[in-house]
Each structure stands twice: as C-alpha cells, then as structure tokens.
Amino acid sequence: MYFGSFNPIHIGHLIIAEHVLNNTDLTQIWFVVSPQNPLKTPASLLNEYQRLHLVQLAIKDNLRLKVSDIEFKLPRPSYTIDTLNYFAEKYSNHQFHVILGSDSFKNISQWKNYQTLLKNYKIIVYKRQEFDIKNPTLVIYLHEAPILDISSTFIRKSIREGKSTRYLLPDEVREEIERGGYYKNH
C-alpha cells in the first residue's frame, strides 16, 4: 500500500513504486489516494476525484500498479491503520505492507495506533534527503532507493508561477492538469 494525497502524483512517486517492486518480493503496489490526510490542511488539496483520476492516468499501463479510492468511503480524516484493517479483513488472502518515505516514518509516532501498525504490518521505507532512520530494524529499509528532490508542493508552486512541469509529471498527467487548469490558484 502506497498511501498519499498524490496532490499531484509525479514521477518521484512512480520511480519509488517501481524501485520497491524491483527490490522486494512484492508483486503489486496499490496507490491509496487519501481524500483528507489528518496532518495536512484540506484547503491545499485538489478535489479527491481529480487526484484519483490523475493517479489512474499515471499508472494505467503498468499492471503491477493499482489505484484505490477506498478512503473516499471510510470515515474522515483518513487513518492508515483503519484503512489497513479494512483491507486485511476484505482481502484476507493478501498480505499488506506500507510504503513510506523516511520523512513520513520520522513522524509515525503521531499516527493513530502506530504501535499496532508497526506490530501487524511490514513497513518499507525509502530514504528521503536529510531524513535518516535511527532504528531500521523495525522496517525494511531501502538504502539504495533513488533520491529525487521532487515534491508535489514544488510542482504546485511551479504551476502557479506558470513554469514548466515537463519531466516532473507523466505526460498524460501534465496534460490533464493543464487542460483542467488545476493548481493555478491552489
């Protein structure tokens, strides 16, 4: 499970997903689009269905990647542990892992029922610049993950400023954002 606002999804997300698939025994990654992250302000988010559509465009040609809108149907704000428990019950024949950047993992103690999350699910952490993990024995730590200093915040700022986002976004995602006028005022 690769949870995120994906506001918008960008090539960094896709590179990490592919890297995880290539360097673990996972056979598929599910992008879980979070309509409302409890640690982010909702005003900065593009509509959840538009973000879901952008993820669908980004991954449509990769059979090892799947998108889920399950958090749209669950109580808000979205909590990772609640979503994982839902999936574990609904898909009891699957084994679920959580993919996180080391920046997010640093804040895991702020997450709802994080001890249960760490106890019941494998956590795959990829290194983000300036965020190292002090206790990597709790997780599968991908030291060699490509480090790209690309963020959705940077992309939104670039769009507001009228700058090019070519090569930061998959072409179809970039074209849809331009066509819809997304992020011009976010």
Residues 93-116 as b/e (b if ≥16 CB within 10 A, e otherwise) read eeeebbbbbbebbbebeebeeeee
Task: Say what the pLDDT of residue 130 is.
Answer: 66
Question: CA torsion, points 167, 98, 42, 185, in degrees to nearest 10?
Answer: 0
H/E stretch holding 71 reads helix 70-73
Among all chains, which residue has been given the structure tokens 């074209």? 175
Side chain identity at residue 124, one-letter code: I
Which residues are paired to 122 by β-bridges? 97
CA-wise closest residue to 26 among 37, 13, 17: 17
Task: Say what the pLDDT of residue 78 is.
Answer: 84
pTM, to two decimals: 0.91
Task: Say what the pLDDT of residue 92 is.
Answer: 94
CB contact set of 98 (below 8 Å; sequence gap of 6+):
1, 3, 80, 84, 117, 121, 122, 123, 124
CA distance 19 to 13: 10
CB contact set of 160 (below 8 Å; sequence gap of 6+):
183, 184, 185, 186
Task: Say what the pLDDT of residue 173 is.
Answer: 98
Is 142 within 8 Å of 126 (Cβ atoms)? yes
Task: Say what the pLDDT of residue 125 is.
Answer: 86
Task: Say what the pLDDT of residue 133 is.
Answer: 65
Which residue numbers in the chain have pLDDT < 50? none
